[in-house]
Amino acid sequence: MQTDLQSQPGGLWLPVITPFLDGRLDTSSFERLVIHYLDETIDGLVVAATTGECLTLSIEETEELVAIAAKAIETRIPLFLGLSGSDTAGLKANIEETANWPIDGYLISCPSYSRPSQAGLYAHFAALADVTDLPVMLYNIPYRTGVNLLNETLLSLAEIPNIIGLKDCCTDAAQTFGILRHKPSDFSLLTGEDAQYYNALVHGAEGAILASAHVETARFKAVYDSVRAGDQMGALAQWRDIVDLTQLLFSEPSPAGLKHWLWREGLIESPELRLPMMGVTASLAERINTAMDQLKSHVA
């Protein structure tokens, strides 16, 4: 374990992209990205999650990414590994295989496609938490998986000691607020809905795991810092400056927009994605280029 997670996880976490070059991992760009975001004072990093195109990565590639990130981080922030799948036994084997990797915990999504019952979801996550001593953060994103982890089930899972939090993408404001009202004090809710970042923080979320925070990272962090300092109006002013970015970057399947932005910024060598994901269309590329130029002129 790299860092001490006795304190409650919170703040701004980044589900980092995976750079590719000519079909292979671009490890130089990946290392550059991790160092860049450490300087931007993010509070946690997730490798090989959805934004990292995890479903296209081999176990060897994932291990290489983890090793690079862990070496760069040097225990400064927590490093979580994204896991997904619908086979409980297979995921247990994945956790056992990664037990000695230099990670601090796991971000595990609900099973996709199979649409298990709530009892099945509880048994699935309980079984996964039982095979590791590391912290586990659950990931509820029904519009991708086809199943919603309901609050009653989630709150039962929160009683398991090493299930420490939730990346919440349920898109139901009432469901999210219900979690915030009833969850244990040592269980974190981090929103994963980029466009709902400000609202989630104001309603009591401990933080966020945001793909959009790859760009204008300091501004996204300023929203969090202002809310935590009790400056809601200051946070709102910061949020108004960047909220349109969340729509722009997700106007085509992510992480295409992010990769185009980071490539144009010089942080990665290529905006390449792996099929079935595709690069941005010419029209979105033009819109992103315009947004970048406008932000640069605003700063100047």
DSSP-derived letter for residue 193 is -
| Structural domain count of the chain | 1
pLDDT, averaged across the chain: 95
- Indicate whether 231 belongs to any domain: yes
Residue 2 lies in a domain: no
Q: By residue range, what is the domain housing residue 23? A: 11-242
Catalytic residues: 139, 167
> Is 106 a member of any domain?
yes
Is 21 inside any structural domain?
yes
List the Cα angle 136/126/58 in 5-degree steps. Answer: 55
Residue 176 token pair: 């999210």
SS3 sequence of 77-92:
CCEEEEECCCCHHHHH
- The domain that holds 69 is classified in CATH as 3.20.20.70
In a domain, 269, yes or no: no
Provide the pLDDT for residue 7: 60
Confidence grade of residue 298 (pLDDT, cut at 50, 70, 90): low
The identity of residue 7, as a single letter, is S
How much is the average pLDDT of 198-216? 97
pLDDT(1) > 50:
no
The model carries a pTM of 0.95
For residue 223, is pLDDT > 70?
A: yes
In a domain, 22, yes or no: yes
Is residue 261 a part of any domain in this protein?
A: no
Per-residue pLDDT tens digits for 246-281: 999 999 999 999 999 999 999 999 999 999 999 999
Segment holding 107, helix H or strand E = strand 105-109
Read off the pLDDT band of 296 (50, 70, 90): confident
Cβ neighbours for 278, distance < 8 A, ≥ 6 positions apart:
253, 256
Q: 180 lies in a domain?
A: yes
Backbone angles phi, psi at 15, to 5 degrees: -85, 90
